[in-house]
Amino acid sequence: MKFALKHLKLAMAGVAMMSTQVLADTHFLIPGGPGGGWDTTARAVGEALVKSGLESNASFQNMSGGGGGRAIAYLIESGSKKGDMLMVNSTPIVLRALSGKIPYSYRDLTPVASVIADYGAFVVRDDSPFKSWKEVIARLEVNPGSVTVAGGSARGSMDHLVAAQAVKAAGVDGRKLRYIPYDAGGKAKAGLLSGEVKMLSTGLSEALDMAKSGQARILAVTAPEPIADYPEIPTLKSLGYDMEFVNWRGFFAAPDLPQAKLDEYTVRLQKLVQSKEWEAVRARNGWLNLFKPQHEFIEALEAQEAQLKVVMEELGFVRRWLN
């Protein structure tokens, strides 16, 4: 009996050790400053991983510079030597490679998985004279440069591209839009709230933070249909403009990532999006689940790259002779 009890205790200890080994401390690398979509996504994922018990701890590192290129270079150079490290990114990694703004592409890294989809949103201060998207278009039709539009990234980047596409759908020349770039979403928000610019092009999750605080109003989003969690927000399509855009956000690892570690990340993220802790975070930010493991993620990246290349050429962000 004592022998059996002894081995039962050892077995239980072994299970405890295995449970401890499953939990990880993931370091999230964020290629921009605080307050932007990358920052929000990484911290939300880290929060839900810990609360759901899938990780013991999560740490975060903001690394601005070079349109995200500095963080990508750091991830490449560091390799997998620094333990569990995931870099959050989104559509800009495709856009900036196409435009030549960064010397890297997703092919220089290990795509792990996409996790969410976020829509574009157009935001004004709560005291803005613009009460609707149609009023903004009416002003732009008279003078395309009369409405300054802020974004948390450089000219030709996603915030700029989405705004240019939106006004183009209304018959306004998107190339004439007066876009003001800021270094990350937090500074772009500050630019709007301080009155430096008249409108902000950003992700819905960042826009919701401002709207809920009473500082700003969301005029429209780029969703194909009303968002279930926020049906009161107009979509461009519901206003009669044929334009929609969805921005994936996902995670990348070092180029030398071992297959076993990739498998571990994939399982962990898949369990995350099925958890109640994640559902609370997702609904709070107005995101859609868009979990795609590596092979599906890479297929989606390749398709988006081809599509955006055409759009960027049409808007003059990429010269055709570069093809």
**Residue of 31, 179, 165 whose CA lies nearest to 102:** 31
- CB burial class (10 A; 0-12, 13-18, 19+) of residue 42? buried
Residue 272 is predicted with a pLDDT of 96
Q: What is the mean pLDDT of each run of 10 residues along the chain (323 residues)?
A: 39 37 76 85 94 92 86 87 86 86 90 93 93 93 89 80 89 88 81 89 86 91 88 93 90 94 95 95 88 95 88 72 39
Residue 248 is predicted with a pLDDT of 93
Residue 98 is predicted with a pLDDT of 86
User: Max Cα separation, the chain?
Assistant: 90
Residue 103 is predicted with a pLDDT of 85
The contacts of residue 59 (CB under 8 Å, 6+ apart) are 25, 26, 27, 28, 46
CB atoms within 10 A of CB 212: 10
- Which pTM value belongs to this model? 0.74
Do the beta carbons of residue 163 and residue 201 sit within 8 Å?
yes
Residue 21 is predicted with a pLDDT of 42
Strand 199-203 to 178-181 pairing? unpaired
The pair of structure tokens assigned to 159 is 């915030």
Residue 161 is predicted with a pLDDT of 87
Do the beta carbons of residue 88 and residue 41 sit within 8 Å?
yes
